[in-house]
């Protein structure tokens, strides 16, 4: 029988493990799990400062604190603005992490790309009165070119934006661990971390390329391994198999992940809205064989007659991974030859629909039959037998 997310959050909270690593597809409920976990750790009466004393967390809501002012009238003074909140004030003003954030951001992106945090300044309001713009309420970006020319007020990519926001969190986390590693509380430079129990990190890798993704995973693992405070525990969720595998290996889960005390899991959602969280053992490839999980998920949907539109996305992903493994230049090369173009369009259309009137969860009966046909074609003797012989 499935569980509610609150029950899963309670199990994670009750665990004595230093680190717990969870994989789940996008849309399953990782962000909701992080919010429910935070609510379990804190109480309704806790303000932001009291919450931060018990748990710090990174999730999609962290990114929502930032938004762009694109200067639509002049198209020159583009700024990433920060909504008033206790978290960034804590990191930037109270803890003074500006320099560390810039250093980490340039390491993950480009050492010529520089974020510039504003100081306090005054502007004239529409009524002519002075309005104070508080320090650390907006960020501009400049980039240096090879001829020593600097371009100011550029708009960075969504991936770079996500990376900057992660670096704000990461810089704080690094300081937290270094501070808590001082055994005697009275000798620590600040006392705001003394009661901290949990760090919850939800998918910090949404837009990084593979090289930087690996670097980020290694950095997180090194931070966790450097933590000597027995009170501090970490929970990490991700939808990215590579990120999962790197963390699994760097944290040596193969030897730590025991059947009577698991620390690596797969989170999945049932048709009735409940959830399963299954322990995954062995090494990273055995405990998380992504293509095998895709195959199993689609098989179950076919057998239980519960095919949904998202199963076409999983089928395309399975075709892509099989083609890559076998050395085919395109995943469509594995489709049946008799109606290759038609089947290609079916998968493309059902897995990449963008119009709102196409967003219907239940596929038609012909679409369901097509998915089953293409799945059986792929996992039949020809390709998967070939794969096993590689």
pLDDT at 156: 93
Place of tokens 């005697």: 184
Note the pLDDT of residue 385: 57
- Among residues 237, 234, 166, the alpha carbon closest in space to that of 197 is found at 234
Predicted local confidence at residue 342, as pLDDT: 62
- Give the three-class secondary structure for 352: coil
- How deeply is 14 buried, as exposed, middle or buried, from its count of CB atoms within 10 A (0-12, 13-18, 19+)? exposed
Q: What is the pLDDT of residues 187-234, one digit of tens each?
A: 999 888 999 999 999 988 666 777 778 889 999 999 999 999 999 999
Cα-to-chain-centroid distance, residue 284 = 18
Q: From 109, 94, 96, select the one nearest 141 (Cα to Cα).
A: 109
Gap between the Cα atoms of 87 and 281, Å rounded: 36
Rounded to whole angstroms, the Cα distance separating 368 from 306 reads: 9
**What is the pLDDT at residue 44?**
67
Which residue segments constitute the domains of the chain, with CATH numbers given? Answer: 5-64+159-287 (3.40.50), 66-157 (no CATH), 291-389 (no CATH)
Measure the CA–CA gap between 257 and 176, rounded to whole angstroms: 26
What are the per-10-residue average pLDDT scores of the chain (390 residues)? Answer: 92 94 88 94 74 88 92 86 92 94 93 94 79 91 86 91 93 95 93 93 78 86 95 93 85 77 87 89 57 81 86 83 75 76 63 43 81 88 54
Strands 138-144 and 113-117: antiparallel
Q: What is the pLDDT of residue 347?
A: 67
Q: For residue 205, what pLDDT is reported? A: 67
Strand 138-144 and strand 150-151: the pairing is antiparallel
What pLDDT is recorded for position 306?
87
């Amino acid at each position: 029988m499935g569980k509610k997310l609150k029950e899963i959050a309670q199990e994670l909270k009750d665990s004595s493990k230093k680190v717990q690593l969870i994989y789940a597809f996008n849309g399953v409920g990782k962000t909701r799990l992080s919010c429910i976990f935070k609510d379990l750790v804190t109480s309704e009466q806790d303000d932001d400062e009291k919450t931060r004393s018990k748990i710090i967390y990174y999730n999609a809501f962290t990114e929502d604190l930032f938004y762009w002012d694109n200067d639509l009238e002049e198209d020159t003074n583009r700024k990433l603005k920060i909504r008033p909140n206790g978290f960034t004030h804590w990191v930037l003003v109270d803890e003074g992490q500006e320099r560390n954030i810039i250093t980490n951001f340039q390491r993950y992106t480009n050492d010529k790309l520089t974020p510039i945090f504003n100081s306090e300044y005054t502007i004239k309001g529409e009524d002519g009165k002075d309005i104070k713009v508080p320090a650390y309420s907006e960020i501009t970006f400049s980039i240096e070119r090879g001829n020593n020319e600097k371009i100011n007020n550029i708009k960075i990519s969504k991936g770079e934006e996500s990376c900057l926001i992660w670096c704000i969190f990461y810089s704080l986390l690094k300081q937290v661990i270094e501070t808590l590693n001082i055994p005697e509380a009275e000798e620590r430079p600040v006392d705001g971390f003394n009661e901290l129990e949990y760090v919850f990190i939800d998918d910090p890798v949404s837009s990084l390329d593979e090289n930087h993704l690996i670097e980020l995973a290694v950095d997180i693992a090194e931070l966790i391994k450097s933590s000597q405070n027995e009170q501090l525990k970490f929970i990490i969720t991700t939808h990215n198999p590579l990120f999962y595998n790197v963390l699994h290996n760097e944290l040596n889960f193969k030897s730590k992940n025991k059947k009577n005390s698991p620390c690596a899991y797969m989170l999945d959602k049932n048709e009735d809205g409940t959830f399963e969280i299954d322990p995954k053992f062995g090494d990273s490839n055995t405990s998380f064989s992504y293509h095998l999980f895709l195959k199993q998920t689609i098989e179950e949907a076919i057998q239980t007659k519960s095919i949904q539109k998202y199963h076409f996305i999983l089928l395309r992903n399975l075709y892509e991974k099989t083609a890559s493994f076998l050395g085919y230049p395109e995943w469509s090369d594995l489709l049946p030859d008799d109606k290759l173009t038609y089947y290609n369009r079916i998968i493309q259309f059902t897995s990449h629909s963008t119009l709102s009137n196409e967003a219907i969860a239940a596929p038609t009966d012909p679409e369901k039959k097509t998915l089953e046909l293409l799945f059986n074609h792929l996992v039949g003797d020809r390709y998967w037998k070939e794969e096993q012989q590689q």
